[in-house]
Amino acid sequence: MTECKYLIDSSIWVSYFLSEKEEISTFIESSHEMFTPILSLFEVKRKFIREKYNQSKIDTALELMQRRGSFLPITWETCQRAAELSVHHNLAAMDALIYATAQHHKLILVTGDNDFRKLKDVRII
């Protein structure tokens, strides 16, 4: 049996840092192999800047994201597939890029975003 590997969406990271759900904390602190799309770094940092978190707290959060799993870049192939997914599933651009990244790397997308609820290989917490 192969253990699942996961792509962690920014919604999960934000919920984790804000201690919103015990289930998310348990998942992030588990031994699962995890990756994060580089776009989630942008989304998390933007949210914390908008909410006026101090720079030290932002840096600590981003460092934890990096320690917990590798960041995955957006590739040429991912961009092309994301455009198709965006149109076919009516996904926002950022969501389509994140979902395409998960598909490209054969990862289960873990998210708190219900926009992904009908897509395969998605776990919503």
Secondary structure of 23-88 in HEC code, one letter for each residue = HHHHHHCCCCEEEEEHHHHHHHHHHHHHCCCCHHHHHHHHHHHHHHCEEECCCHHHHHHHHHHHHH
Domain ranges, ordered by start, for the chain: 5-124
Task: Give pLDDT tens digits for 42-55.
Answer: 999 999 999 999 99
Q: Give the model's confidence band at 2: pLDDT under 50 very low, under 70 low, under 90 confident, else very high.
A: low
Q: Which residue, 30, 13, 19, 21, is CA-closest to 109?
A: 13
**What is the residue type of 2?**
T
Task: Give pLDDT tens digits for 43-97.
Answer: 999 999 999 999 999 999 999 999 998 999 999 999 999 999 999 999 999 999 9
Fold type of domain 5-124: Rossmann fold (3.40.50)
CB 107 within 8 A of CB 7: yes
